[in-house]
Amino acid sequence: MRDLVYTGFMSLDGVVDSPGGGPGEGHRSAGWVVKDLEFVPEAWSLKGEELAETSALMFGRNSYESFATTWPSSEDHADYKELPKYVVSSTLPDDAAVDGWGPITFLRSTEEVAALKESDGGKIFIHGSAELARRLGDAGLIDQYNLLVFPVLLGAGASAFGRADRDKQMLSLREFDTYSNGIMKVIYDVRR
């Protein structure tokens, strides 16, 4: 069985969208990860640690369409280039796969994600994809949350966590660290 890990940058009030900024993000506070915050290299070490554990990537449609325009040619993401990618979308056609970015498979439902988790292989990391994270979390398919929590309150924006009235889901703290610029690293395992 494969573990599904959501990894993301999050504001203290739970917003995960538009962390990097850039044109067309549509969020008035876009770029909040890098604005007004001292760069502390060790705060970003989680990304290297994750890469060592990543056997595949998973995206929702919006994140796939956004990342597919920059990640294939990005030196910062070169190590992800040949990894298998799974895109969860009921609307993207199969020919939407980007050439030169490793094998890309389209999954059309939450049930197909559940079946993928039952297959052999290592951890699958979800980057961005707040709507997908909410849906898979509500379906009990996410096994671990890797979060870098930033000292900012945004007030509005997408969250990786659903607001549906459902049974509570307990988490176990696997790892925690804080950095001089106020960023917190928290890694939680979902209790089953």
The model carries a pTM of: 0.93
Give the E-state strand segments of 128-183 in sequence order. 144-150, 171-178
Instruction: Say which range, 67-71, 121-125, 145-149, 165-169, has the weakest mean pLDDT.
Output: 165-169
* pLDDT band (50, 70, 90) for residue 157: confident
Q: What is the largest CA-CA distance in the chain?
A: 46
* Three-state SS at 42: helix
- Tokens 């909040």: give the residue: 32
Give mean pLDDT, residues 62-84.
90
Instruction: Say which range, 49-58, 137-146, 163-172, has the weakest mean pLDDT.
Output: 163-172
Which CATH number is associated with domain 4-163+179-190? 3.40.430.10
At residue 156, the pLDDT reads 79
Residue 182 zone, left/alpha/beta (φ > 0; ψ -120 to 50; rest):
left
90-128, pLDDT tens digit by residue? Answer: 999 989 999 999 999 999 999 999 999 999 999 999 998
Whether the Cβ atoms of residue 148 and residue 185 lie closer than 8 Å to each other? yes
Give the E-state strand segments of 26-166 in sequence order. 54-60, 85-88, 104-107, 123-127, 144-150
The domain spans of the chain are 4-163+179-190
Instruction: Say which range, 62-66, 130-134, 156-160, has the weakest mean pLDDT.
Output: 156-160
Q: What is the token pair recorded at 111?
A: 């049930």
* Three-state SS at 31: coil
26-42, pLDDT tens digit by residue? Answer: 667 777 887 788 999 99
% pLDDT > 70, the chain = 97
Whether the Cβ atoms of residue 157 and residue 19 lie closer than 8 Å to each other? no
